[in-house]
Amino acid sequence: MRPRNLNQIGTPLISVVLLLAGFAVRIAGISSGGMHTAGLSARVLGCALLLYWAGWVRRSLTPLILAGMVLGIEVGLDTPGVAVGAHFLSDIFLRLVKTIVAPLILVTLISGIAGHGDLKSVGRMGWKSLVYFEVLTTVALVLGLIAANLTHAGRGLKMPAELGGGLGAVPPPLHWQDFLVHTVPENLAKSVAEGQVLQVAVFAVLFGIGLALVPRDKAEPLLRLTHSISEVMFRFTNLVMYLAPLAVASAMAFTVAKLGGGVLIHLGKLLAVFYATAAVFVAGVLVPVALLARVPLRRFVQHVSAPAAIAFATAASEAALPRAMEEMELLGVPRRVLAFVIPAGYSFNLDGSTLYLAMATVFVAQVAGMPLSVGTQVFMVGTLMLASKGVAGVPRAVLVVLLATASTLRLPSEPILVLLGIDALMDMGRTAINVIGNCLASAVVARWEGVFGEQTASVAVREEDLLLQATGDR
C-alpha cells in the first residue's frame, strides 16, 4: 500500500513543482540559454509525469481532463502553431456532444413527465425551479456590481485609438415578447438541428403531458421506447467522453496560443477580480445553499468536477450537459428532475454569465468616465435580469446583452471591444459557474421535492461509474 500511496501523492506533487518552476522561467521572459532549456525541460517532464499519474495511476476522467488542461497551456505557450492547427480536435468533440444534447433532453423529459404520472408535481417543480433561479441570478448580479464598484477595474484604462467598427454584425437583442415566441417550436426537427434547447424542452414538456393523459396501456410502448433511447444516449455519452481530455487540451492550447499573456497586462485586474468574485460566489452562496438543502457537499464536488472542467476548458455549457446529467444522477437526483431542471437552467439560471454582465457593464462605464448612480445600477440589475433570459441559443449571447444594456444606459460601445480581447478567458469561468450552479439547482429542487436519493442511477451510468472506480483502485 505504501508505494501506491507514494505514487498517488508524490507523482502529482513532483509534477506540480516542475511545472511551477518551468512556468516561472517562461513568465520571467528568459528565451535563450541554459535557463530557457531547463525551464522547457521542467515543463515537459512535469506534463509527462502528470499525464502518467492521471492516465495510469488514477485512471479516472477528471484527473485526465486536468492533465489535458495543463498540457494545453504548455503547447499553447511554446508551440502556438501546433496549438492552432490542433484546434480541430476540440471541434470534433463539440460536434459529437451537440448531437447528444437535443435528443437526450427530448427523451428524458418525455419519459420523466409521462412516466411520473403526477402532473401536479411537475408544475410544482416548475415554479420551485423558477423561484430558485431568480433568487440565485439576482444574488450573482448584486455580487458582480459590488465587486466592480469596489475594485474600479476600468479606471485608468486608455482606449486604443484604432478601435471602432470592429464588432461586425451583432444580432439584435430579443425583447420579452420575442423571447416568448422564440421558446415555442415551429418545427421539432429544425429546433433539434439548430440546437434550440429551450424549444426542444417546451415540445418535450407538452408531449410528455399529452402522453401522461393517454391510457397507460397505450402509452407504455412509447414510454419504453423513450427510456431505451435515453439509455443508448447515455452509452453514447460515455464513449464520447473518452475524447474529453484530448479535446480539453486542444481547446486550452488554442486559447493560450491566440491570446498569449500580453493582453492580460491591461485587463489582468478585471480578469482577477472576476475570478475572485466567482470564487466568493461559489464559497459564499452556492456552498451555503448546498448545506441548507442538505446536499452532501463532498460527493457533490466529486461529481461536479468533471462537468465543470469540461465547461471551463471548452467554454461551452452544452459540452458539459450530458456528463452533468450523468453525474447528478449518480449523486442521487432522479432523472425526471434532471430532465426538467437542467435544461430550464440553461436559459434561466446563468449565474456566471449574469455575474460577469454586471461587472462588465460597470467596467464599461468606468472606462468611459461615466459613473453610475445607485438608482441607475438598480435599474441596470432589472434590465440584465430580463435581457439575460432571452439569449439562449443566440450567437455571442453575452455580447448581445452587454451591448443592449450599454445602449439602454447610454454608455459608449467602444470599451466593449476591449473586453473581447479576454472574453475567451472570461467565458471559461462563467461557463463553469453556470454548469456548477445548474447541477446544484437540480440537487436542491430534488431535495425540495423530497425525492433526492430516491431513484438509483440508470444501468448505463451506474456501470460506467463502477468501472471507473474499479480501474482507479488498482
Q: Is the pLDDT of residue 170 over 50?
A: no
- Per DSSP, helices labelled H in 28-60 are 33-52
CA distance 8 to 3: 9
Q: Directed axis angle between helix 423-449 and helix 335-348, to 10°?
A: 140
Lowest mean pLDDT among 207-221, 256-270, 321-335: 256-270
Cα–Cα distances (Å) from 415 to 362, 368, 385, 411, 412, in that order, read 11, 7, 22, 9, 7
pLDDT per residue as tens digits for the range 372-398: 777 778 877 877 776 665 444 444 567
Q: Is the pLDDT of residue 336 over 60?
A: yes
CA distance 449 to 101: 25
pLDDT per residue as tens digits for the range 226-240: 888 878 887 887 788
CA distance 15 to 71: 12
The half-sphere exposure of 39 on its side-chain side, counting CA atoms within 13 A, is: 20
The pLDDT of 264-293, averaged and rounded, is 85
CA distance 65 to 312: 10
pLDDT at 287: 94
pLDDT per residue as tens digits for the range 451-468: 887 655 444 444 444 444
Q: Where are the domains of the chain?
A: 2-58, 88-473
Q: Is the pLDDT of residue 167 over 50?
A: no
The pLDDT of 144-151, averaged and rounded, is 88
Q: Is the pLDDT of residue 81 over 80?
A: yes
Characterise 452 by phi-psi region: left (phi > 0), alpha (psi -120 to 50), beta (else). beta
Identify the top-confidence range among 60-69, 178-187, 337-346, 433-442: 433-442
pLDDT at 67: 80
Model pTM greater than 0.75?
Answer: no
pLDDT at 405: 73
Q: Is the pLDDT of residue 62 over 80?
A: no
Q: Which CATH superfamily is domain 88-473 in?
A: Sodium:dicarboxylate symporter (1.10.3860.10)
Q: Is the pLDDT of residue 440 over 90?
A: yes
The pLDDT of 74-78, averaged and rounded, is 80
Q: Is the pLDDT of residue 163 over 80?
A: no
